[in-house]
């Protein structure tokens, strides 16, 4: 009987010891997890000096901003590619910056326009070309975009407004100084560049 009681006490002690060990282990793991989470959150907090006063700011998750960056890249490319002045160096500089953001389809379109004499006509007619973005639609799953905008050609004799609808795909690449968003536009093509209006300018 005494031996039986001793065996039961040993079993109880063993069970209590194992349970205590398990609880202690869980508490240690929970502590590590909590500490890791605190460190992770603290790294998202930055202090920026505003006139000598530290202001707390929060970093946002890069994935949350990615759709915004895709739209921004599409808009930036179109603004650079289609904003032109009657200056050969200005045109080359803008086109050069735009071609860092796109694959060879951008180069092909530039070569096509140059061979048609489009840029020479702009320079000879002293025309300014600007583009206004109406909307940019991005399908992140299919990696596809649609650009809707208007192209304004301001000549001495007339203001021409043309529709500008393009489409293409995009892929993530390494960020560089020439491509800070790290997005490469691909398979780009112009769907509609038809004339909307042509308003003559009258000089008196």
Instruction: Give the number of other CB atoms < 10 A from CB of residue 55.
Output: 10
* Cβ within 8 Å of residue 71, ≥6 positions away: 136, 138, 145
Q: Does any domain span residue 50? A: no
pLDDT per residue over 87-102, tens digit each?
A: 999 999 999 999 999 9
The pLDDT value recorded for residue 6 is: 65
Q: Does any domain span residue 170? A: yes
Q: Please provide residue 67's backbone torsions phi and psi, each rounded to the nearest 5 degrees.
A: -60, -35
Domain range enclosing 159: 62-200
| Count of the separate structural domains present in the chain | 1
Q: Give the pair of three-digit tokens for residue 137.
A: 């639609």
pLDDT per residue over 97-139, tens digit each?
A: 999 999 999 999 999 999 999 999 999 989 999 999 999 999 9
pLDDT per residue over 11-62, tens digit each?
A: 777 776 777 777 778 887 877 777 777 666 655 555 554 445 554 555 555 5
Q: Specify the CATH number for the domain of residue 119.
A: 3.10.450.230
Q: Does any domain span residue 45? A: no
Q: Does any domain span residue 131? A: yes
Q: Does any domain span residue 17? A: no
Q: Give the pair of three-digit tokens for residue 9.
A: 């006490």
Q: Does any domain span residue 110? A: yes
Q: Does any domain span residue 101? A: yes
pTM (predicted TM-score) = 0.69
**Helix (H, G, I), strand (E, B), or coil: what is residue 17?**
helix
Statement: residue 151 has pLDDT above 90: yes
Q: Does any domain span residue 157? A: yes
Q: Give the pair of three-digit tokens for residue 55.
A: 């202001």
């Amino acid at each position: 009987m005494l031996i039986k009681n001793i065996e039961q006490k040993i079993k109880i002690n063993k069970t209590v010891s194992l349970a205590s060990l398990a609880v202690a282990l869980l508490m240690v793991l929970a502590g590590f997890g909590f500490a890791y989470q605190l460190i992770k959150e603290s790294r998202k907090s930055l202090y920026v000096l505003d006139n000598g006063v530290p202001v707390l700011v929060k970093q946002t998750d890069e994935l949350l901003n990615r759709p915004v960056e895709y739209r921004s890249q599409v808009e930036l490319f179109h603004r650079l590619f289609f904003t032109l002045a009657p200056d050969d160096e200005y045109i080359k500089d803008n086109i050069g910056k735009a071609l860092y953001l796109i694959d060879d389809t951008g180069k092909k379109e530039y070569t096509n326009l140059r061979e048609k004499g489009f840029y020479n006509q702009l320079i000879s007619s002293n025309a300014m070309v600007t583009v206004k973005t109406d909307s940019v639609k991005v399908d992140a799953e299919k990696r596809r975009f649609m650009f809707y905008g208007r192209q304004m050609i301001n000549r001495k004799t007339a203001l021409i407004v043309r529709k500008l609808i393009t489409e293409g795909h995009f892929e993530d690449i390494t960020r560089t100084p020439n491509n800070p968003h790290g997005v490469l536009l691909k398979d780009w093509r112009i769907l509609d560049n038809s004339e909307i209006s042509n308003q003559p300018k009258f000089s008196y």
